[in-house]
């Protein structure tokens, strides 16, 4: 299978799904999406996508509705999306996406985690060229779907790659095509199960199992932080 499926299967996604603070993190995304636009998913594509991804992780309906309501609460703190770039041991690079109401706290926490585990925080912009930002959208295949025909339909929407495995289909495009790809699929009455912006390494590296254990410690600590949303690496 291609790179997109490999990333989908990677351990980072398993860790993301297993994080103890997953629902609060998803709730932040929903709240921010609602604050930026309408609290009606039909009128706000970003909110619609956030809800879709939350449901894919089995986030309860009550939690989703509460996150939407928080967007209009007067005491809800303003959230800021910030990214950090870092280096871990064994030549592993890290791109860390955060959402925070206190940037000073987040910088200190991320830097502390990296340095305690043999890594370091890099100057922002150092790794931008090392990762390609992609729109990755997943949906279930139906018996009557023709992949080749679907590919032709999606090319004008920005499709770069389409892959099918068992009953799951994954489409990939440049991050700028996220909206057009999701809209094209919805117009064909295709129910999207997950939709994300991923960062894929241009030159993935291989490490040993022993080295992987060192990296896992850093990733687990980072992903357990309340402000960290996603961590991308250049691991193969």
Query: In this structure, are 151 and 174 located in the same domain?
Result: yes
Query: In this structure, are 50 and 86 located in the same domain?
Result: no
Sheet bearing 80-87, strands edge to edge? 120-122, 80-87, 93-100, 228-233
Query: In this structure, are 56 and 169 located in the same domain?
Result: no
Per-residue model confidence (pLDDT) at position 159: 97
| DSSP calls for 115-165 | HHTT-EEEPTTSSGGGEEEEEEEEEE--TT--HHHHHHHHHTTTEEEEEEE
Domain termination residue (choose one: 70, 87, 113): 70
C-alpha 214/C-alpha 158 separation (Å) is 38
Q: Which residue range(s) make up the domain with 40? A: 17-70
Taking CB atoms within 8 Å and a gap of at least 24, the contacts of 44-49 are: 45/179, 45/182, 45/183, 49/182, 49/195
Question: Roughly what angle, to the nearest 10 degrees, separates helices 11-18 and 209-224?
Answer: 40
Query: In this structure, are 123 and 216 located in the same domain?
Result: yes
Per-residue model confidence (pLDDT) at position 94: 97
The backbone region for 58, taken as left when phi is positive above 0, alpha when psi lies in -120 to 50, beta otherwise, is: left
Greater model confidence, 153 or 79: 153
Query: In this structure, are 51 and 84 located in the same domain?
Result: no
Give the mean pLDDT of the chain. Answer: 89
Query: In this structure, are 125 and 33 located in the same domain?
Result: no
Query: In this structure, are 119 and 142 located in the same domain?
Result: yes
Q: Which two tokens stand for residue 165?
A: 């495995």
Residue 14 binned pLDDT confidence (cut-offs 50, 70, 90): low
- Residue 102 CB neighbour total at 10 angstroms: 12
3-state secondary structure of 17: helix
Domain termination residue (choose one: 47, 70, 93): 70
| Segment (H or E) for 135 | strand 131-140
Please state the φ and ψ torsions of residue 95, each to the nearest 5 degrees. Answer: -120, 115
Query: In this structure, are 155 and 91 located in the same domain?
Result: yes
Query: In this structure, are 35 and 124 located in the same domain?
Result: no
Question: Over the stretch 45-100, which tens digit does the pLDDT of each residue have?
Answer: 899 999 999 998 889 999 999 999 998 887 677 889 999 999 999 999 999 999 99
Question: Over the stretch 173-213, which tens digit does the pLDDT of each residue have?
Answer: 999 999 999 999 999 999 999 999 999 999 999 999 999 99
Query: In this structure, are 153 and 169 located in the same domain?
Result: yes
Residue 15 reports pLDDT greater than 60 = no
Per-residue model confidence (pLDDT) at position 4: 53
Query: In this structure, are 9 and 117 located in the same domain?
Result: yes
- What CATH number is attached to the domain comprising 183? 3.30.70.980
Query: DSSP class of residue 205?
Result: B
C-alpha 230/C-alpha 83 separation (Å) is 10
Sheet bearing 159-165, strands edge to edge? 159-165, 168-174, 131-140, 192-201
The backbone region for 153, taken as left when phi is positive above 0, alpha when psi lies in -120 to 50, beta otherwise, is: alpha
Query: In this structure, are 110 and 49 located in the same domain?
Result: no
Total number of domains constituting the chain: 2
Pick from 41, 95, 31, 15: nearest CA to 63: 31
- What CATH number is attached to the domain comprising 38? 1.10.10.200
Per-residue model confidence (pLDDT) at position 13: 52
């Amino acid at each position: 299978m291609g790179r997109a499926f490999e990333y989908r299967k990677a351990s980072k996604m398993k860790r993301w799904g297993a994080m103890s603070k997953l629902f609060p993190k998803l709730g932040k995304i929903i709240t921010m999406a609602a604050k930026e636009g309408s609290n009606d998913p039909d009128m706000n594509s970003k909110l619609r996508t956030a809800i879709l991804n939350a449901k894919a992780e089995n986030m309860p309906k009550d939690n989703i509705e509460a996150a939407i309501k928080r967007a209009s609460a007067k005491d809800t703190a303003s959230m800021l999306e910030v990214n950090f770039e870092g280096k871990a041991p064994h030549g592993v690079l890290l791109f860390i996406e955060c959402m925070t109401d206190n940037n000073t706290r987040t910088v200190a926490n991320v830097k502390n985690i990296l340095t305690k585990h043999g890594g370091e925080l890099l100057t922002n912009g150092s790794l931008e060229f090392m990762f390609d930002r992609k729109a990755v959208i997943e949906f279930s295949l139906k018996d009557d779907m023709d992949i080749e025909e679907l590919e032709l339909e999606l090319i004008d929407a920005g499709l770069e790659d389409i892959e099918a495995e068992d009953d799951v289909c994954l489409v990939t495009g440049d991050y700028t095509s996220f909206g057009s790809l999701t809209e094209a699929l919805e117009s064909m009455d295709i129910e999207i199960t997950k939709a994300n912006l991923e960062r894929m390494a241009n030159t993935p590296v291989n490490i040993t199992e022993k080295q992987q254990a060192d990296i896992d410690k850093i990733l687990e600590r980072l992903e357990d932080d309340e402000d960290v949303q996603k961590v991308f690496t250049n691991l193969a």
